[in-house]
Structure 1
């Protein structure tokens, strides 16, 4: 079992637990820094008893339904997406839960992704990287379910990460990576609706 002491503000601290042995028997403290978007924040984290210094992202789920969705998302990170962590998707550092006044509360600790603004001269390059990431996702057997929402592609340095797998499903797709490597390019490589829609949106965009 590992634990997380989440310091939300000067008056609120949550004691959270994880029983996943993959995270080891570690005990961390995380202190909220700022809100990034709905239910996603940055925190400073460190080993319990030491000053928290490392910045990571934290995604929070309140209530039974939200926690069940987050548990599914954690499952994708821990299994189908494990080999893609740190390259195509953020690294997962832990999935922790607790109850607050009887209400379930959960959080995912993830690699914090950020990068420089994308100028017009780099749009085509970033579109190609987004397509490469999407093909790798499908090659791993995952259909994201909402990739046309551009905010699910986030910059990481000069690369791309795909985030938010709350509505993802397992997926058997003709291997887009293999066909692209064989020289077929980005042209409806497998008839998959998600990939075909991305190709229409990104492959021919040369703005």
Structure 2
């Protein structure tokens, strides 16, 4: 069992637990820094008894339904997405739960992702990385379910990560391996609805009047993001 002492403010502290042996027998303290969006915040974290110094992201779920969705999301990170952590998706540092006045409360501790603004000169490059990451998800057997919402692609340095797997499902993709599209216009050969929609949006991005060059996915699918 591992524990997390989450200091929300000067008057509120939550004691949370995880029984997943993959996280080891660790005991951490995390202190809220700021809200990023909706139920996502940044915290400073450190070993219990020491000053919290490392900055990570924390996603919070209140109530039974939200916690069940978060538990599913944690399951994807721990299984299908495990090999993609730190390259295609953020690293998962832990999934913790507790109850507050009888109401379930949960949190995911994730790698905090940030990067510089994307200028027009890098749009094609980032579009390529978005498509690359989406193909990697499908190759791993995961359909995200909401990738056309661009906020699910977040910067990490000069690369990107895909986040938020609350509505994801397991998926045997008919065209999930990017290398299968080598040498073709992607929007013509893809048989998967999610990937086809992404390729239409990002390979020919009308929002910026930018078109990607044809990509040899056979050569690029092994690159680090």
TM-score, normalized by length of structure 1?
Answer: 0.96
- Aligned alpha-carbon RMSD (Å): 1.3
Look up the SS of the partner of 2:182 in the other structure. Answer: helix
Contact 1:34 1:43 in 2 (8 A): yes
Deviations 1:31-61 (A, max 9, x none): 0000000000000000000000000000000
Look up the SS of the partner of 1:77 in the other structure. Answer: helix
Deviations 1:120-152 (A, max 9, x none): 111111001000000000000000000000000
Contact 1:153 1:163 in 2 (8 A): yes
Following superposition, the deviation at residue 174 of structure 1 comes to 2.6
Contact 2:181 2:189 in 1 (8 A): no
* Aligned residue number for residue 216 of structure 2: none
Look up the SS of the partner of 2:201 in the other structure. Answer: helix
Change (3 A) 1:178 1:37: closer
Contact 2:175 2:192 in 1 (8 A): no
Contact 1:57 1:111 in 2 (8 A): yes
Following superposition, the deviation at residue 206 of structure 1 comes to 7.4
Change (3 A) 1:52 1:188: farther
Change (3 A) 1:47 1:178: same
Partners of 2:163 and 2:2 in 1: how far apart?
A: 24
TM-score, normalized by length of structure 2?
Answer: 0.89
Contact 1:30 1:44 in 2 (8 A): yes
Partners of 2:188 and 2:165 in 1: how far apart?
A: 23
* Aligned residue number for residue 57 of structure 1: 57
Contact 2:97 2:107 in 1 (8 A): yes
Following superposition, the deviation at residue 118 of structure 1 comes to 0.4
Partners of 2:189 and 2:82 in 1: how far apart?
A: 24
Partners of 1:61 and 1:204 in 2: how far apart?
A: 36
Contact 1:28 1:47 in 2 (8 A): yes
Runs of 4+ in 1 over 4 A off after TM superposition: none
The answer for unaligned runs of 5 or more in structure 2 is 208-225
Contact 2:181 2:190 in 1 (8 A): no
The answer for unaligned runs of 5 or more in structure 1 is none
Following superposition, the deviation at residue 155 of structure 1 comes to 0.3
* Aligned residue number for residue 188 of structure 1: 188
Following superposition, the deviation at residue 187 of structure 1 comes to 2.8
Q: How many residues align?
A: 207
Contact 1:35 1:42 in 2 (8 A): yes
Partners of 1:137 and 1:69 in 2: how far apart?
A: 19
Partners of 2:60 and 2:178 in 1: how far apart?
A: 37
